[in-house]
Structure 1
Amino acid sequence: MSKSLNLLLNVHEDENISKDNCYLVNGNYEYYHYLCDGFDDRGWGCGYRTLQTICSWMKCNVNKDVSVPSIREIQRILVDLEDKPKSFLGSRQWIGSFEVCLVIDKLYDIPCKILHVNKGDGLDNIVDALRTHFMKFGSPIMMGGDVDCSSKGIMGIQTDGAKSNLLVVDPHYVGSEKTKEFLQHKGWVKWQPFKEFLSSSFYNLCLPQVKSKCLQ
């Protein structure tokens, strides 16, 4: 498993978060992104990095004895589960929400719910599902779409009448800047209108169903 990397904690904090109508991740997590451990995954590793961010939340809040897996260790898990062929090891093939569910279940014995969102879907049911998730489980969400096979971490939802915003933690950042303020100023951590996602893609969301008795 990967060594301690001295990564930033809770990069969403102070991101102009209003206390009204906000439903947020509950507990600490580390921000994993391209090249954060010296491994060059630019252009294909966003799903792995979002999974690592979720695993860091699991380590902080669910099971401190299970370390965050490296990208190669994630690939090994998926091969061992027979979800991927042996040729997947050492490849630059991306992973999506389904693979994230498999790895979380394997490492932590925690099931995940997949929420499929079609382009142009109505928001009411989706917003309710995300709001309920953060209220009931409080775990980070993985959101993957068909545009450039891109994935992002979702750390909260803000509702304001007909408008809804997602709190996005983007793993595509490359750099050594180590302040939350920099990441927020540059847009790597931001509130983004939900409708902006639905205008261009379909999405699958992975929602880890962490029971309260599992939390440390």
Structure 2
Amino acid sequence: MAVQGALEDMGDKPPGFQGSRSWIGCVEACFCLAHFGGPQGRLFHVPRGAGLQGELERLYSHFSGGGGPVMIGGDADAQSKALLGVCLGPGTEAYVLILDPHYWGTPKSPGELQAGGWVAWREVSTAFDPNSFYNLCLTSRNSEKQQHTVD
């Protein structure tokens, strides 16, 4: 409820949003990172899922430079995702390590998460709806308080 209240206080959501069962997306998550003094969030928009193939170098650079998880939300693809890594192969072969953020609890082992499909390497060409837009929030592990930015 603190997140919903913060979004109301920021003017992002109307009064009465706090306590509702309404979903939030990557944009709101990025606002909350800044509001609560968390890691820096940097947003960028991909108009079509098929365009994510063209963003792999940016994502690879993000992770190889020490960047944190990338929150992803779409419109036609309403399944939220968190990217934990990118693997670029020869040619157009590419995979992303996806975490389903809906998991809760304490796993007995990493294998339990993999077996349950909560964490998996997925081919980019099949992991995203080619017709859905996506918003991505790249998080830093930077502990300094910084403003969020939008690309």
TM-score by length of 2: 0.81
Question: Which stretches of structure 1, 4 residues or longer, exceed 6 Å deviation after superposition?
Answer: none
Q: Which residue of 2 aligns with 1:199?
A: 130
Equivalences, count: 141
CA shift, 1:163, in A, is 1.2
- With over 3 angstroms needed to count, the CA separation of the structure-2 counterparts of 1:85 and 1:178, relative to structure 1, is farther
- Match for 1:171 among 101, 104, 111? 101
In structure 2, runs of 5+ residues without a counterpart are 145-151
- Match for 1:188 among 118, 122, 137? 118
- Match for 1:145 among 35, 54, 74? 74
Distance 1:109 1:177 in 2: 25
CA shift, 1:177, in A, is 5.3
Q: Which residue of 2 aligns with 1:123?
A: 53
In structure 1, runs of 5+ residues without a counterpart are 1-71
The residue correspondences of 1:23-172 to structure 2 (distance < 5 A) are 72-108=1-37, 110-117=39-46, 118-121=48-51, 123-124=53-54, 126-147=55-76, 149-161=78-90, 162-172=92-102
Q: Deviations over 1:70-107 (max 9, x none)?
A: xx111111111111112111111101110011001111
* Amino acid across the alignment from 2:130: S
CA shift, 1:108, in A, is 1.8
For the Cα contact (< 8 Å) 2:77–2:129, is it kept in 1? no
- With over 3 angstroms needed to count, the CA separation of the structure-2 counterparts of 1:157 and 1:148, relative to structure 1, is closer
- With over 3 angstroms needed to count, the CA separation of the structure-2 counterparts of 1:75 and 1:178, relative to structure 1, is farther
User: Which range moved further: 98-107 or 197-206?
Assistant: 197-206
For the Cα contact (< 8 Å) 1:119–1:198, is it kept in 2? yes
For the Cα contact (< 8 Å) 1:94–1:149, is it kept in 2? no
Distance 2:27 2:75 in 1: 13
* Amino acid across the alignment from 2:32: V
CA shift, 1:122, in A, is 6.2
Highest RCO, 1 vs 2 (Cα 8 Å, sep ≥ 6) = 2
Distance 1:177 1:122 in 2: 30
CA shift, 1:208, in A, is 2.1
- With over 3 angstroms needed to count, the CA separation of the structure-2 counterparts of 1:148 and 1:88, relative to structure 1, is farther
For the Cα contact (< 8 Å) 1:121–1:198, is it kept in 2? no
TM-score by length of 1: 0.58
CA shift, 1:179, in A, is 3.0
Distance 1:164 1:185 in 2: 22
- With over 3 angstroms needed to count, the CA separation of the structure-2 counterparts of 1:198 and 1:128, relative to structure 1, is farther
